[in-house]
Amino acid sequence: MILAVAAPDTTHAPVFALHEVPLPAIAAAEGTPCYVYSAPVVQARLAGLQQAFAACGHPWALHYALKANSSLGIARLVREAGVDADANSIGEIHLALRAGFRPDQVVFTGVGKSPAELTDAVGLDLKAINAESAGELDRIDAIARTQGRRTRVALRVNPDVDAQTHAHITTGLKSSKFGVPIDDAPGLLRARKDAAGLEIIGLHVHVGSQITTLGPLCAAARKVADLAVALRAEGFPLSHLDLGGGLGIVYEGGDVPTYEAFAQALVDVARPTGLTLIVEPGRTVVGPAGVLLARVIDVKPHAGGGRFVVLDAGMTELMRPALYGAFHRILPVEPSDRPLVSCDVVGPVCESSDSFGRPRELPDPQVGDLMAIMDAGAYGAVMSNTYNRRPLPPELLVQADGSWRTLRRRQTIDDMLALEQA
């Protein structure tokens, strides 16, 4: 777990390597910016979750939220670990199938599913489609009947629980666009109890991401569990409760619950329902397993007395700081006894929001220095884009033996223009 050793914002960090592969060697061979992931860290985190749920003695299934990192190589690693998938679009469903998941290992979530997505998903006979509205239930029913099928669905309910996280990733307040108000759920399910195209098998909830206490997760789970008990008493043959993802990671110090505490808390709520517990973790699996490796390409003083340190990575590679004001540790990769100086660490994109951290104390950065932006394995590469015509960065996976392989090569200008015509 070499990625976990550095202290928050360590300034005189020693050279750190991913499983004996020095990041400088990776940078020299592959160029920067690039994402570097550790296979053993992903595997260890998956195993940690599996062990924690297995120890609780209640039926469970883990569905990795592909949206956090859907690189084909990462998805394959997840499948090989025996964990199933949560997809948020037909693209993620097909990615999952290409990574070797069977359709019955995939749940399909998403606040808006197009007719084409629903037709495709129904035809694939996935484990479940998490429906987000009465209208969507009816559309699934109609498509399923046309195809001569009964489609397994879970209804996503909105419990009106504050996840106490960033507003942009809060999804369970009644003002959020997700799911149906929990109080409306019984009525709209009753009205569809005999729908020929639907098999109503579960309830789904997800109140937000980067949640660092168990309170909101349990509050939402309890509301959904109570509803499930009531629905079963009415004769709905439910089989699972899908309690979403949402366990956060440590970006900047502080604590997050252990996997054991997370699993136990959710199982304690699910057990009385007798239903299988599903969880859809994303960030906690891959976040700490990845760094964005970047090089300093300019240093200049600014009027405030500090300096701008311009990296060759920006909001195009990692947009979390620009989008959410998110904190990521920035560590110099190579040791240095230079004095600490105050820096605004920024990217090269034409936006003032293209900033990774200000101010940060770093050992007097020089052009050419390598920096690792930590905990970038989740919602990093998947959210990268080509603004300013910047090519998508490569993604590299380091194995336990210290070798690494390319999961995605760097985009070329020809790749970028391949879909265009003048």
Catalytic residue positions, numbered: 350
- Going from the C-alpha of 286 to that of each of 246, 337, 373, 374, the distances in angstroms are 13, 32, 14, 12
Residue 214 burial (CB count, 10 A):
17
Indicate which single residue of 113, 127, 152, 206 sits in contact with ligand LLP (rule: CB under 6 A): 206
Q: How far apart are CA 174 and CA 159, in angstroms?
A: 7
Q: Which of 166/271 has CB closer to ligand LLP?
A: 166
Indicate whether 159 belongs to the interface with ligand LLP (CB under 6 A).
no
Q: 397 near 18, Cβ under 8 Å?
A: no
Question: Where do the H-state alpha helices sit in 17-108?
Answer: 23-30, 39-54, 72-80, 90-98
Give the contacts of 221 (CB within 8 A, at least 6 positions apart): 205, 241, 243, 265, 266, 269, 270
Closest CA to 25 of 346, 374, 419, 370: 370
Indicate which single residue of 3, 68, 118, 373 sits in contact with ligand LLP (rule: CB under 6 A): 68
Indicate which single residue of 71, 210, 212, 316 sits in contact with ligand LLP (rule: CB under 6 A): 210
Candidates 11-19, 62-70, 288-296, 340-348; binding stretch for ligand LLP (CB under 6 A): 62-70
CA 263 vs. chain centroid, Å, equals 18
- Least CB distance from residue 130 to ligand LLP, whole Å? 7
Candidates 40-48, 147-155, 281-289, 387-395; binding stretch for ligand LLP (CB under 6 A): 281-289
- Least CB distance from residue 402 to ligand LLP, whole Å? 28
- Going from the C-alpha of 168 to that of each of 149, 209, 385, the distances in angstroms are 37, 9, 19
Retrieve residue 11's tokens: 């300034």
Indicate which single residue of 79, 113, 283, 390 sits in contact with ligand LLP (rule: CB under 6 A): 283
Residues touching ligand LLP, count (CB under 6 A): 21
Q: How many residues does the chain have?
A: 422
Indicate whether 86 belongs to the interface with ligand LLP (CB under 6 A).
yes
Indicate which single residue of 152, 379, 393, 395 sits in contact with ligand LLP (rule: CB under 6 A): 379
Indicate which single residue of 172, 197, 244, 288 sits in contact with ligand LLP (rule: CB under 6 A): 244
Mark residues 165-204: x for contact with ligand LLP by CB under 6 A, - for none: ----x-----------------------------------
Indicate whether 289 belongs to the interface with ligand LLP (CB under 6 A).
no
3-state helix, strand, coil in the chain (%, to 5): 35, 25, 40
Candidates 242-250, 264-272, 363-371, 407-415; binding stretch for ligand LLP (CB under 6 A): 242-250
Give burial (CB, 10 Å; 0-12/13-18/19+) of 229.
Answer: middle
Indicate whether 216 belongs to the interface with ligand LLP (CB under 6 A).
no
Retrieve residue 31's tokens: 């160029």
- Least CB distance from residue 26 to ligand LLP, whole Å? 24
In the range 299-358, which residues lie near ligand LLP by CB under 6 A?
A: 320, 324
Residue 389 burial (CB count, 10 A):
9
In the range 106-125, which residues lie near ligand LLP by CB under 6 A?
A: 109
* DSSP conformational letter for 208: B
Q: 181 near 156, Cβ under 8 Å?
A: no
Indicate whether 92 belongs to the interface with ligand LLP (CB under 6 A).
no
Amino acid found at 185: A
- Strands 180-181 and 198-204 turn out to be unpaired
- Least CB distance from residue 178 to ligand LLP, whole Å? 8
Indicate whether 45 belongs to the interface with ligand LLP (CB under 6 A).
no
Q: Which of 206/307 has CB closer to ligand LLP?
A: 206
- Footprint on this chain of ligand LLP (rule: CB under 6 A): 65, 67-68, 86, 109, 169, 206, 209-210, 244-247, 280-284, 320, 324, 379
